Structure 1
Amino acid sequence: MKIGLIGEGAIGRYVTEKLTEIGLAPQTVLTRAGRLHQTDGGTALRVDRVADLPSDITLMVDCAGHEALTQHGAAILERGIDLVTISIGALADRQLEQGLQAAARRGAAQLHLATGAIGALDCLQAARVGGLSQVTYTGRKPPEGWRGSPAEEQVDLDALTEAAVHFKGSAREAATAYPKNANVAAAVALAGLGFDKTTAQLIADPEVTANIHEIHATGAFGSFHFRIEGTALPDNPRSSALAAMSVVSAVERRRAAITT
């Protein structure tokens, strides 16, 4: 398996380190034109166009943001290269989702969503078969975790003394308004009732130190409530450590003889 990487931020650096440890160091980095000649001492080839990716690349790993998936996703899939992405919230854009599906079919490739920041999605997918009646996602982070998001326009993050809901609406609205924070809402929506029928609420809470994700679902199967408290990557308080780990796990599963 020959791997290419998109994204050299906190998640990209973590993924590169872990993949290197298991003998799957990225061979190529797809980057912006202005960064072609930057290097951290690694030996990976750097390119700024999908057309310039080496012919032996079999898997691209997107650790960047929604913009990268929008810009490069379809071209990668059309080349017949499978793609693992953390930019799940980008699929709230119907046109992009449809375009990626069409590109994957044309290239006989697969887009894999790395959803490790939240668990229980396999249970939610199974419950969907029998019929779901309600799915609610709640995302709770310390105020610092909402810096640079629309939360700053809704509440005074510096002055909070108690938890404050700064968003409530559909998962589509959450993923669109909070592209750097609501990938989990998108993952829950795709596993369950869809973007428009999944309810999401986002909370800034000065009493917590972890990123907390909760799913509540009811349907023909019964009901369940799932909660996970995840830490952020040291380099970026907005990046989930478990999300980065899930990317590595997704790559490992692709070469495993037995997988879940």
Structure 2
Amino acid sequence: MHLGLIGYGTIAADLLRVLAAEGAAPAALDVLARAGRVDAARARLGGGQIHVDAADLIAARPDLVVEAATHEAVAGPVCACLRAGLPVLIVSIGALANPEVEASVREAAIAGGTQAFLCNGAVGGIDMLGAARLSGLARVTYTSRKPPGAWKGTRAEDMLDLAALTEPTTFYTGTARDAAAQYPKNANVAATVALAGAGFDATDVQMIADPGVTANIHEVSVRSGAVNFDLRLEGLPAPDNPKTSLSTIYSLARAVLNRAAPLAI
């Protein structure tokens, strides 16, 4: 596969590592980096063509573009790639909590005759949630429970003395839309659950800082006309970024492998 990457941080570097371990290293690699960060991108990724303009990435015509950057990238180069007919796998799903961004992504994909694929990331059961939605959803809730340190650099740090917590503390209760807007680096799972299920405004979210856990725990509860289920996943934090579940990287790798596999599941 000729792979395109938007972003070159922990997720992108680990994605390439997993693909190589599976014997599926890209035959060609084109990476979109910010101006002035070309050398850093090349050092971290160990090769590939590095571009600072989305037009150059598009001109390379990769088979698949993976966005592993920021919410801002979804409204910018992701839409440009889609409009040019390139399929894009989006990691920063929380960006779609902004209805204007979601509309732009849909319109760009239609204009380009292609698709934007949303990576499940750290959460599972999205296939069954999507099926349950067709039967009618009565209730969907998502709870994010992480060690206090994983919430550093977010609004939680302004509300709580994270280092001094001795018991689980809920610091956010609201909708998936507000969660994704207020905690953009932590709420991609909330956005994924919302898009697959009841929507951003009808999906209830709780965020908890819990000194008693060492993993990033994701809990999804669904009640519908066809199936009821409760799901709990304990994702180990990525060593280089505790805000990211390690499972996100493997989920992304699975999605990329499926795009090239003769038999995909």
Do the structures match in fold with TM over 0.5? yes
Contact 1:10 1:239 in 2 (8 A): no
Contact 1:9 1:64 in 2 (8 A): yes
Contact 2:6 2:68 in 1 (8 A): yes
1:50 aligns with 2:54: yes
What is the CA-CA distance between 1:35 and the residue it aligns to?
1.2
Which residue of the other structure, out of 133, 151, 154, is the alignment partner of 2:156?
151
1:63 aligns with 2:68: yes
1:243 aligns with 2:245: no
Please name the residue that 2:2 is paired with. 2
Please name the residue that 2:31 is paired with. 29
Q: Which moved more, 1:4-13 or 1:21-30?
A: 21-30
Q: Deviations over 1:135-160 (max 9, x none)?
A: 00000000001011111122111111
Contact 1:137 1:215 in 2 (8 A): yes
What is the CA-CA distance between 1:185 and the residue it aligns to?
0.3
TM-score by length of 2: 0.94
Please name the residue that 1:11 is paired with. 11
Quickly say closer, same or farther: Cα 1:23–1:216, change in 2 above 3 A. closer
Which residue of the other structure, out of 124, 128, 145, is the alignment partner of 2:129?
124
Which runs of no fewer than 5 residues in structure 2 stay unpaired?
A: none
Superposed CA RMSD: 1.3
Please name the residue that 1:219 is paired with. 224
Contact 1:81 1:109 in 2 (8 A): yes
Please name the residue that 2:204 is paired with. 199
In structure 1, distance between residues paired with 2:24 and 2:233: 30
TM-score by length of 1: 0.96
Q: Deviations over 1:93-146 (max 9, x none)?
A: 000000010000111111111113101111111111110010000000000010
Percent identity of paired positions between Structure 1 and Structure 2: 45
In structure 2, distance between residues paired with 1:153 and 1:128: 36
Please name the residue that 2:78 is paired with. 73
SS at match of 1:165: strand
In structure 2, distance between residues paired with 1:250 and 1:46: 23
In structure 2, distance between residues paired with 1:140 and 1:64: 23
The one-letter code matched in structure 1 to 2:211 is P
Please name the residue that 1:187 is paired with. 192
In structure 1, distance between residues paired with 2:178 and 2:80: 27
In structure 1, distance between residues paired with 2:108 and 2:227: 37
What is the CA-CA distance between 1:218 and the residue it aligns to?
0.7
Q: Which moved more, 1:139-148 or 1:222-231?
A: 222-231
**Structure 1 segments (4+ residues) deviating >2 Å:** 19-26, 36-39
What is the CA-CA distance between 1:222 and the residue it aligns to?
4.1
The one-letter code matched in structure 2 to 1:187 is T
Which runs of no fewer than 5 residues in structure 1 stay unpaired?
A: none
In structure 2, distance between residues paired with 1:186 and 1:93: 10
Please name the residue that 2:93 is paired with. 88
What is the CA-CA distance between 1:48 and the residue it aligns to?
1.1
In structure 2, distance between residues paired with 1:83 and 1:74: 9
SS at match of 1:148: coil
1:164 aligns with 2:169: yes
